[in-house]
Amino acid sequence: MTGHHGWGYGQDDGPSEWYKSYPIAQGNRQSPIDIVSAKAVYDPSLKPLNISYESCTSLNISNNGHSVMVEFEDTDDKTAISGGPFENPFRLKQFHFHWGTKHSQGSEHTIDGKPFPSELHLVHWNARKYATFGEAAAAPDGLAVVGVFLEVRITKIACLHDEKHHTVKCLRTNFNPKCLLPLSLDYWTYPGSLTTPPLNESVTWIVLKEPIRISEKQLEKFRTLLFTSEEDQRIQMVNNFRPPQPLRGRVVRASFKA
């Protein structure tokens, strides 16, 4: 399946080919990476992550051919993250998932070489410093993405118990992404990039150490939900993840003592 802009995850248009259209693919701060926990540096100056998603209004859920994306109204700082390594609050713009065909792969980041079945990305932008999301996405300190691993076990995502269509509706209207976060907000952080073209090196990554757990059955349901658009057209989208990129001298900092 070919991506909309001439890129995708297939043999001919997949991650190993992206550099041809997007030379930054071979840059010095590309994402994702393998996080080697023993090499992460504990930084006591890192503040706890503060996530306030109470009043968020999701605008729509869409299948953009590469992932399933839920977009939010981002007109104020009410739905934002702050603290952590940041001076300013960063506003939530959208979240999306990466996943694989089998449980043994699917996440973009890996921990000590180990992938997870899926990874959630909550994308935020620096609205204090930049006028638009587009402007922020082109700046080295413009974006903050929170990465959350999904692990197959007992669920915390109550939302996904519901019937398929109800789930979509619940995501659409009054869905609080806070239910997608683990209890512990311990994190690793490093300077990186978008993991899909245009691969801008504009992202401060916050990768949460604790995964959220979903059951086997729910992961299957979840996959079905993701592959099914409004009109019940089946779109087989699998293995939509980019493999880890070279660290090139970057330091991964940890908010917690190992």
- DSSP letter for 195, please: S
Q: Which is catalytic among the residues 66, 109, 121, 124?
A: 66
Q: Kindly report the number of other CB atoms within 10 A of residue 47's CB atom.
A: 11
| Active-site residue flag, 5 | no
Enumerate long-range contacts of 163-166, CB under 8 Å, 24 or more apart. 164/221, 164/224, 164/225, 164/228
Burial classification of residue 159, based on how many CB atoms lie within 10 Å of its CB (0-12 exposed, 13-18 middle, 19 or more buried): middle
Residues 202 and 194 sit within 8 Å (Cβ to Cβ)? yes
**Which residue bears the tokens 């197959």?**
152
Token pair in block for residue 226: 């993701």
Which residues are annotated as catalytic? 66
